[in-house]
Amino acid sequence: MFNNKISKLIAAVAVIASTTSISFAVEKNYPAINTAIAKLGLQVQDVVDVPLNGMKGVLTDKGLFYVSEDGSMLLHGTLFNLKEGMKNESEAILSKVRVSQLGKFEAELIEYKAKNEKYAINVFTDITCGYCRKLHQQIAEYNDLGITIRYLAFPRGGVASQSYRDMVSVWCAQDPAQAMTDAKVKGQIVAKSCANPVVDHYNFGAQIGVSGTPAIILQDGTLVPGYRPPADMLQLLQGS
List active site positions.
Answer: 126, 129, 132, 156
Cα–Cα distance, 187 to 35 (Å, whole number): 46
Cα–Cα distance, 111 to 116 (Å, whole number): 14
Q: Are strands 147-153 and 110-112 parallel, antiparallel or unpaired?
A: antiparallel
SS3 letters across 87-144 = EEHHHHHHHHHHHHHHHHHHHHCEEECCCCCCEEEEEEECCCCHHHHHHHHCHHHHHH
Find the distance separating the first CA and the last CA of the chain, reported in whole Å.
Answer: 36
Angle at 69 between CA 77 and CA 6, to 5 degrees: 40
Cα–Cα distance, 92 to 3 (Å, whole number): 26
Q: How far is CA 153 from the centre of its chain?
A: 11
